[in-house]
Amino acid sequence: MTRNIDRNEELFARAKQLIPGGVNSPVRAFRAVGGTPRFVTRAQGAHFWDANGTRYIDYIGSWGPMILGHGHPVVVEAVQKAARDGFSFGAPTERELELAEEIIRHVPSLEMVRLVSSGTEAGMSAIRLARGATGRSKIIKFEGCYHGHADALLVKAGSGLATFGNPTSAGVPAEVVQHTLVLEYNNLQQLEEAFALHGRDLACVIIEPIAGNMNFVRAGVDFMRRTRELCTQHGALLVFDEVMTGFRVALGGAQAVYAKAIPAFRPDLTVLGKVIGGGMPLAAFGGPRAIMEQLAPLGPVYQAGTLSGNPVATACGLATLQQIARSGFFDELAAKTATLVDGLKAAARAAGVPFSADCEGGMFGFFLLPELPGNYGQVMKSDGQRFNRLFHGLLDRGVYIAPALYEAGFVSSAHADADIAETISAAQAVFRSLA
């Protein structure tokens, strides 16, 4: 009897001979969950199809950018028109200004932005700008927050509060991260002590306000309020990494969510990506004019990029932002996401499986824990083996979630009620098998 050929397996075997690990970004390799990655051939709306022709309901959405779903006709038309006019010029275009205006219009903390090509580039540049603007070297980041793969940010917690972090990647010398202090997320005592010890030397605090690389963990309102107060008191800049949350959890990003609870709340610098590119490589960082004018060619902080403000990417991003700015868009998106999360919680509860979940806008996360965690150490207690079984159980039923325990998920406006219902039905069956 002839075995059916699995094209995903064929392609992965071929890829491993050509590309390290067979993938161009590590989490795609399925190493955490086991099995063979799905090689995507096409996508439309809330679905994609793999090399075997199997359809999946997509809850990664290219890790966040596809807030309108795949192949939105207005966005496709904008990209096609831009491509016909030229792929790249290495010179200014009017569309760069239009995109910048659209971003600034919806995020009150921004007076100027600089467009770049990736979240890593934006995060790295924001930190350089913070150091240049303050004349200081030290920075605070939080364990479990990911800000791209720049050397100074690939760092884990040190052995004590007064010590700085240690590299988490080969190829990063210890001296590169000697100015990076790593604290526990949501730990007010550590934050107070860190500023007491290092406040006069701190250039900035960089934080994911809702951490998406711990799956989905919110910074508490009191924690965020005190972070803002301490930065202001000590002259450090508060940098919001909204690569995941920007235009995803709300039109004004996570900072708009916190501003509802903290009067006049604003970060000093904001890092954006994903949604603002609509699926094309594009990111940005921005803040008040006085800080942003420290950048070259006006100021001494250098940053440049050949493809920055790429005309095709800006067309894609601008069309996306114009669509999501329509009245009621985020109310509808949040309702879809909440329906999914509530259904997953009910399915787990009925099966007696420890489970907790949270969501904001079109971003969600869940844990195989009875209560939501507040920091990386608590996240690490989630049941990894049971998650792997959950992942493959859903995958076998046509539902694609992140192939890693510590990654958030994303719902798009293209997800129909039928997609949500199909997902919950699949989850009910899988949770019963996990009990």
Q: Which residues are catalytic?
A: 146, 241, 274
Rounded (to 5) percent helix, strand, coil in the chain: 40, 20, 40
> Which helix (H) or strand (E) is 84 found in, with range?
helix 73-85
DSSP class of 236: P
Q: Which of 204, 93, 229 lies closest to 153, judged by CA? A: 204
Instruction: Work out the number of other CB atoms within 10 angstroms of the CB of residue 292.
Output: 21
Q: How far apart are CA 339 and CA 341, in angstroms?
A: 6
Q: How far apart are CA 203 and CA 137, in angstroms?
A: 6
> DSSP strand E in 243-324: where?
269-272, 283-287
What are the structure tokens assigned to 122, written together? 């934006």
What are the structure tokens assigned to 182, written together? 């790593």
Q: Which of 48, 44, 41 lies closest to 71, judged by CA? A: 44
The CA-based angle 85-86-89, given to 5 degrees, is: 130
> Which helix (H) or strand (E) is 237 found in, with range?
strand 237-242
Beta bridge partners, 141, equal 182
What are the structure tokens assigned to 46, written together? 């809330």
- Only one residue has tokens 């051939």, namely 41
Beta bridge partners, 301, equal 295
Burial class (CB in 10 A: 0-12, 13-18, 19+), 42: exposed
Q: Which of 327, 116, 140 lies closest to 231, judged by CA? A: 140
